[in-house]
Amino acid sequence: MMNKMTKIMFLLMSMFSVLISISSNSWFIVWMGMEMNLMSFMPLMMNNENISSKESMMTYFMTQTIASMLLMMSIVVTMWKSSINENELFNNKEMMMLLSLMMKSGTSPLHFWLPKTMEGLKWSSCLMLMTLQKMIPLMLLTKIIKINTFSMTVVMTSMIVGAIGGLNQTSLRKLMAYSSISNNGWMISAMMISEKTWIIYFMMYSMMITVMTMSMMKYKNYHMNQLMSMNEPLKTKMMMMMNMMSISGLPPMMGFMPKLMVIKANIMNMEMMTMLTAMMAALITIYYYLRLMLSMMLMTKYSPKWNTKIFKKKNYKLMMTSMMSIIGLTMITLMYTIY
């Protein structure tokens, strides 16, 4: 098992590789940064307590390798001077890039690896996979994505697959994986509006998913039946419930604002089909998060009285981050209006 300093070293290397990729203007340097990011994340996936972590590592490695090969092929095609039709060459190159970046970020229909991989990981690795590991492919998608039939189909497919896929899940990690796929669709839709909208969405999504993952990691919840048997104070459960309400996009929590921005922009651009799909997917997502809240709040055999255990010093950090889910909508709305 790795010691703390080794983990910090790999984490810093992963963050450094993200900075290399998003700040470079060369496709080869971007590709190199993505490979550094892959190699630095692989050791952080190791979990000796879970035998399926090795299978998750192999699935993740194979998927990212195939995506990297596709990306490298598209880069070579871009730089290759040929006498064939330039428009045909550009379209093929662009399609290969889109497919490789979609596979790397776990966007539908190339999402097959994400739920299976997350099921074998610990919560800290799941958090990195849903936030830091998405940054490079999503930033590159921002540069090459265009509003066309293919992009709109990807957006709607990701939203629907992420919403429906989470309905029959009892594993919290798989449920979060499908929620992540659905949010990929929302973020790609935000990219088509403006870069500012996408950055705001990603920052708020990262904040909410961090709070949610920290809660699950602290109380060692991996399956729905563990939520039912949580013997924690009611205030703790209320705090976790508000985090779930926020990440599901239920108003008036913080997670409602970015989805509202995307829906509003789709209405203004007359993208009615995308808007209806987004609203339907959001309702399904809210449903399965409400089901989690019901399991946690009502289906428990033990319900302790309200007490002050939650106010112990060790819980202050979790409490402060959870408060962002409650008052975050007002703060971010004010910042967005001023900006």
Sequence spans of domains, the chain: 4-338
Give the mean model confidence (pLDDT) for residues 293-315.
Answer: 56
CA nearest neighbour of 321 among 199, 173, 210, 180: 210
Could you give the maximum distance between any two Cα atoms of the chain, in Å? 77
> What is the pLDDT confidence band of residue 120, given thresholds at 50, 70 and 90?
confident
Instruction: Flag whether pLDDT at 178 surpasses 90.
Output: yes
Residue 305 has pLDDT above 80, yes or no: no
pLDDT band at 323 (very low <50, low <70, confident <90, very high): low
User: Residues 221-264: pLDDT tens digits?
Assistant: 888 888 877 777 777 777 788 888 888 888 778 888 888 888 88
Q: Quick one: DSSP state of residue 171?
A: B
**What mean pLDDT do residues 95-111 have?**
88
**For residues 11 and 270, what is the distance between their CA atoms, to the nearest angstrom?**
43
Q: What is the pTM of this model?
A: 0.86
> pLDDT value at position 196?
84
pLDDT tens digits along 30-43: 899 999 999 999 88
For residues 36 and 10, the answer to whether their CB atoms sit within 8 Å is: no
Q: What is the pLDDT of residues 143-175, one digit of tens each?
A: 888 888 888 899 999 999 999 988 888 888 999
pLDDT at 325 over 70: no
Res 220: pLDDT? 85
Question: Using one digit for the tens of pLDDT, what is the confidence trace for 179-225?
Answer: 999 999 999 998 888 888 888 889 888 888 988 888 888 888 888 88
Residue 78 pLDDT > 70, yes or no?
yes
Q: Any bridge partners for residue 223, and if so which? A: 171
**Block residue for tokens 């739920």:** 115
Cβ atoms of residues 58 and 105 within 8 Å: no
Handedness of CA 267, 272, 273, 276 (dihedral sign): positive
- End-to-end alpha-carbon separation of the chain, Å? 46
Residue 11 clears pLDDT 80, i.e. is over it = yes
Cβ 43 vs Cβ 2: under 8 Å: yes
41, 57, 100: which is closest to 76 by C-alpha?
A: 100
- pLDDT: is 94 or 41 the higher one? 41
294 pLDDT exceeds 60? yes
The pLDDT value given to residue 65: 92
> Mean pLDDT across the chain, nearest whole number?
81
